[in-house]
Structure 1
């Protein structure tokens, strides 16, 4: 149903959450996506008992295995990227990150990057707000982290919802990241309809044009009506921001195209002598 609706609204990419992979027929999904000409991306967050930023080596090892399994699932479903909070647990921590935990995470992501390269899957690390990780909250932190992995295959996954909380200047952060951005989430400040919050999307799309971003831009919104209960709890979704995802998806597609076209017109106007 979701795949068919994605194609119907003109989207060329769908994102699945890696929550209960055992319940999905990966081969069937891969064939359906291919027939609809829709690419598949997968995102996830690690649980505490598989936190690769832990100082407990057994927990780190379990996390590395989970990431490797996820890469294989993305490959088998015909997907092309794995994103999300791959470098720590998806949770509100009650402690500061440690140097050892940072180093363990860098090593785990470097190793996962090699597995992803072999599987022809992009590995993109989502920079999220302080209530969902204690490790990577800003683009600058993310750039430092991926530089330390030493892998050219690991990129950043930026999200306007999280940037609106953590970045002093989201547009400047986009320009700072440049070609290190491998995946981009468009989400409103209230997680609902685009344009109903406080994010200045004109500045966002101007910056994306400035860095010549040509990879996926994916709309993300949450409501307890639809979103998996576990994910709703992890993301602190306590109310229905909408009830029908069909008009939501249609509106988001129009809004993104409108803002992108407006940014191109501004650039053309400013370029005139």
Structure 2
């Protein structure tokens, strides 16, 4: 059996993080068989952390929090005032993740989530490194880790590939800064689903599984088989979280930021049940194949006498 915990993004069930929306997401996450609920902090002002933490604990679920920034609070900006707003937002989000009982805070922590009109500047990149170094040190004091989610060129100009994320993590220089791979973004930016996984290796801390169109797993064209085999190659035992979006579930802000313009599904709970079965089956079969391969004696290269 796979040792990976399986998660699901709350936007499969609810558009915001008000008390009723979080309660419903927790209930449906548990019913679908997942171990982790990922909460986006785009709606954090409506989130009751104490109540959500109690409900998560009662359901036996772990929590991961994620977010991107806005152009008004962008730590990759050249403007010190804008960078300061972004740094404060990241600090508050890290603390909120801790208050929820989470130990992992991830996402596009390094920039706004949206289409940039120019490449990242040297000053902007230096600002990213400085802010995230401070955030990582703060996270260490809370027993937490950060994830650098690699996003496509239409959502950030800071890191688009595994190689770029590793360079940024090296420059930040703190060992609790991990890499977050996402199959949806990898499909756009990487050459394949194998080499980036091998490149990241034991620095991989989190995985998003999503189809090329963000709909039902298996209904698109992504080669999940090679991806799961690559994860097995590096003995990845961390979380694997299903992420999918449809205009059937609308976030007032995030749906626009992610260009969710059409209905790829209508029934979130049914989608989640399907995703859990798909992921569990894929991981189990990959594990079985790896075990069989390891236990099969290599063919002799010598002639039999």
TM-score bin (small chain): over 0.9
Write the distance in 2 (CA, Å) between the matches of 1:153 and 1:269: 34
Answer yes or no: is the 8 Å Cα contact 2:193–2:223 preserved in 1.
Answer: no
Answer yes or no: is the 8 Å Cα contact 1:71–1:119 preserved in 2.
Answer: no
2:248 corresponds to 1:219: no
In structure 1, the partner of 2:79 is: 56
Answer yes or no: is the 8 Å Cα contact 2:166–2:200 preserved in 1.
Answer: yes
Write the distance in 1 (CA, Å) between the matches of 2:166 and 2:248: 36
The correspondence for 1:66, drawn from 89, 97, 106, is 89
The correspondence for 2:211, drawn from 188, 194, 200, is 188
In structure 2, the partner of 1:18 is: 41
Shift of the alpha carbon at 1:32?
A: 0.8
In structure 2, the partner of 1:260 is: 283
Write the distance in 1 (CA, Å) between the matches of 2:203 and 2:134: 19
1:45-124 to structure 2, matched below 5 A, reads 45-124=68-147
Of 224-233 and 102-111, deviating more is 224-233
TM-score, structure 1 as length reference: 0.98
Q: How big is each residue's C-alpha offset from its partner over 1:119-153, in whole Å with a ceiling of 9 and x where there is no partner?
A: 22221011000000011000000000000001001
Write the distance in 1 (CA, Å) between the matches of 2:192 and 2:134: 32
Shift of the alpha carbon at 1:173?
A: 0.2
In structure 2, the partner of 1:36 is: 59
Write the distance in 2 (CA, Å) between the matches of 1:7 and 1:20: 22
Structure 1: unaligned runs, 5 residues or longer:
none
Deviation beyond 6 Å, 4+ runs, structure 1: none
Q: How big is each residue's C-alpha offset from its partner over 1:85-104, in whole Å with a ceiling of 9 and x where there is no partner?
A: 10011110000111111111
Q: What RMSD in Å do the two structures reach over aligned CA positions?
A: 1.0
Structure 2: unaligned runs, 5 residues or longer:
1-23, 298-305
TM-score, structure 2 as length reference: 0.88
Shift of the alpha carbon at 1:7?
A: 1.1
Shift of the alpha carbon at 1:53?
A: 0.8
Say which one has the larger Rg: 2
The correspondence for 1:200, drawn from 223, 230, 237, is 223
Write the distance in 1 (CA, Å) between the matches of 2:43 and 2:288: 43
Write the distance in 1 (CA, Å) between the matches of 2:242 and 2:265: 14
Answer yes or no: is the 8 Å Cα contact 1:223–1:240 preserved in 2.
Answer: yes
Q: How big is each residue's C-alpha offset from its partner over 1:71-115, in whole Å with a ceiling of 9 and x where there is no partner?
A: 111111112211111001111000011111111101111111111
2:124 corresponds to 1:136: no
Answer yes or no: is the 8 Å Cα contact 2:75–2:127 preserved in 1.
Answer: yes
Write the distance in 2 (CA, Å) between the matches of 1:229 and 1:213: 35
Write the distance in 1 (CA, Å) between the matches of 2:29 and 2:79: 41
The correspondence for 2:253, drawn from 230, 246, 249, is 230
Shift of the alpha carbon at 1:210?
A: 0.9
Shift of the alpha carbon at 1:25?
A: 1.4
Q: How big is each residue's C-alpha offset from its partner over 1:232-266, in whole Å with a ceiling of 9 and x where there is no partner?
A: 11111110100100110000000001111121222
Q: How big is each residue's C-alpha offset from its partner over 1:180-217, in whole Å with a ceiling of 9 and x where there is no partner?
A: 11111000111000000111111011011111111110
